Structure 1
Amino acid sequence: MKDYLIRGMDSNGNIRFFAATTTSLVEKARKIHNTSPTATAALGRALTAAAMLGVDLKNEKDILTFRIKGDGPIGSIVTVANNKGEVKGYVANPHADLPTRADGKLDVGGLVGKNGQLAIIKDLGLKEPYVGLTNLISGEIAEDLAHYFYTSEQQPTAISLGVLVDKDISVRAAGGYMLQLLPGIKDDEIDRIEEIIKNAKPISTLVDEGLDAEEILQNLFGEFKIKTLNKIPLEYSCNCSRNRIKEVLISLGNDELEKIIEEDEKAEVVCHFCNTKYYFTKEELVELLK
């Protein structure tokens, strides 16, 4: 089953729905970063969230960065998405791990930590990017993101994110859904949504059972007569290139470049998102000074 995302609206125009299956892209991220099982779950949740947030960007060149920095051993989690379904990400400490919780689940909250901040940064091609910040409340990511929407954007939001890691530490299932409640919604509809979510199977279980994004929404919220607005394929995609890395080196300034040339006589630059290594000889570095 290919990864993709759907965006929809209920028949009354009161609820926005998002659902995504992300098993393949999260598995690709795991292979790139060689993450521990719990780090895979944390990064996978963040990648799925970024994918759902990214499709709301208006222009193809707009970029959304979803960043979490708690006080847990994983350190920072950074994910980036656009409105074309392309996502990428990394964690500061990919090998950090914790024992499973008493209920047998991966301790993502412990790995991330409860004390820290969540940031959503939208680069819309303006002079300054839009930055929204809020404090973490659990480190479980979905709960923290719902808290962000409520406090920073005054947008009541329900989010479920999940990653099921197999015994061989590969990703068996990953996905998520998000509902945003608009001003016209009735109290009894809110109560019903809360009841459905409370009794729902974990999102990773639904994906593992073979449900696609439409089926997840229909299975849970079909009574709201959801109309699909668009369907977008998702993939883990990094747009780094040798030319982009050259620009990064040039941006260091001549003094720093001259120091690298004098001390190291070469440079190796590794992309955080895909671990591609770029090598530059002394001669190539000298060229960048011109």
Structure 2
Amino acid sequence: MQNGDYMVRATALDGRVRAFALNATGVVSELQRRHGTWPAVSAALGRTAMGALLFSAATLKEEDQALTVEVKGGGPAGRILATANGRGEVRGLVGNPQAHADSRNGKLNVAGVVGTGGYLSVTRDLGMRETYQGTVELQSGEIGLDLAYYLTKSEQTPSAVAVGVFVLPDGSVDAAGGYLVQLLPGLDDDEIAEIERRLGSLPHPTSLVKEGVGPEQVLERVFPDGFELLDRYPVRFHCPCSRERFTGGIVSLGETEIRRIIEEEENDTTEVVCHFCNQAYHFTREDMAAILEAAR
């Protein structure tokens, strides 16, 4: 259930380490349900969505700010995109929800559907006139390693990112979770080595979720000497689309384009579908005529 999904934000070692961890099983389950993704794509989209949530927690200062992670690796899944905001809300889309790649060593072949020949970009919308975007070449197509590479390369912040999705044989999502640990200036070599050792000894994120290990307990394993919990808040799937928004979008097309749509529509209604949540909105001929009038 999404109600059990939440994020924690913390610092450790006198503020020289920042850490974030989340359980997002319900979020990824909702993405899978809405898009009808096949297993490897469920994992790829879910990892990207959790990456967006973790990055948002690490970089956004206001609730109405937003951050988008986009992955284009050249694989059969096509473009993968997830947008999260400062309220812990996320939505996502994928070009081909039913892409498939043969499993590797009994595990979902995420890199096989994502591809490895493209890029990962992060765009921050801070509510200003311009957005801020950084882009790096994909390193693995596994998403987690690529997210960590982005932070190290683009943000100059050495980071560990782990995100995982466990999909059952029937295609449903059984577990999804992850964490982000950022090393800040002031750490000595021994402290860094100890953090890396503890991170390396952690089980896979989905194993932790399936064992009932919560985000706080994940951080306890990385920082056994203690950490300062700064925040704990729910994360959830949310798409702000509405009939009113799509009406405004159609009006913005202009009179000529709206007239063309009306003339070419063979049915009595025009259907518009949100790519993020697959919600369909229907506009009758009378609705379209009113929209056309508003566009004049």
- Residues in 2 aligned to 1:41 and 1:130: alpha-carbon distance in whole angstroms: 27
Which residue of 2 is the match for residue 273 of structure 1? 276
CA deviation profile, 1:152-194 (whole Å, cap 9, x unmatched): 1111111001111122221111100001111111111111122
- Return the offset for 1:137: 0.9
Which residue of 1 is the match for residue 10 of structure 2? 8
Task: Check whether the contact 2:41–2:110 (CA below 8 A) recurs between aligned residues.
Answer: yes
Which residue of 2 is the match for residue 107 of structure 1? 109
Which residue of 2 is the match for residue 118 of structure 1? 120
- The 5 Å alignment of 1:1-290 reads 2-55=4-57, 56-101=59-104, 103-223=105-225, 225-264=226-265, 266-289=269-292, 290=294
Name whichever of 203-212 and 263-272 sits farther off: 263-272
Seen in structure 2, the aligned counterparts of structure 1 residues 196 and 11 have a Cα distance that, compared at 3 Å, is closer
Instruction: State the SS of the aligned residue for 1:222.
Output: coil
- Residues in 2 aligned to 1:286 and 1:177: alpha-carbon distance in whole angstroms: 50
- Residues in 2 aligned to 1:145 and 1:253: alpha-carbon distance in whole angstroms: 40
Q: In structure 1, what residue type is equivalent to 2:182? A: Q
Task: Check whether the contact 2:12–2:223 (CA below 8 A) recurs between aligned residues.
Answer: no
- Return the offset for 1:219: 2.3
- Return the offset for 1:21: 0.4
Name whichever of 8-17 and 243-252 sits farther off: 243-252
Q: In structure 1, what residue type is equivalent to 2:72? A: K
Q: In structure 2, what residue type is equivalent to 1:19? A: A
- Return the offset for 1:198: 2.0
Name whichever of 152-161 and 122-131 sits farther off: 122-131
Name whichever of 123-132 and 12-21 sits farther off: 123-132
Task: Give the paired residue count.
Answer: 288
- Residues in 1 aligned to 2:190 and 2:221: alpha-carbon distance in whole angstroms: 20
- Residues in 2 aligned to 1:186 and 1:249: alpha-carbon distance in whole angstroms: 57
Instruction: State the SS of the aligned residue for 2:190.
Output: helix
- Residues in 1 aligned to 2:99 and 2:163: alpha-carbon distance in whole angstroms: 20
Instruction: State the SS of the aligned residue for 1:64.
Output: strand
- Return the offset for 1:221: 2.7
- Seq. identity, %: 44
TM-score (norm 1): 0.96
Task: Check whether the contact 2:198–2:221 (CA below 8 A) recurs between aligned residues.
Answer: no
Q: In structure 1, what residue type is equivalent to 2:280? A: K
CA deviation profile, 1:65-105 (whole Å, cap 9, x unmatched): 1111111110011101111111111111111011110x211
Task: Check whether the contact 1:11–1:227 (CA below 8 A) recurs between aligned residues.
Answer: no
TM-score (norm 2): 0.94
- Residues in 2 aligned to 1:63 and 1:139: alpha-carbon distance in whole angstroms: 24
Q: In structure 2, what residue type is equivalent to 1:230? A: D
Task: Check whether the contact 2:64–2:87 (CA below 8 A) recurs between aligned residues.
Answer: no
Gaps (5+ residues) in structure 2?
none
- Residues in 2 aligned to 1:237 and 1:18: alpha-carbon distance in whole angstroms: 21
Gaps (5+ residues) in structure 1?
none
Instruction: State the SS of the aligned residue for 1:140.
Output: coil
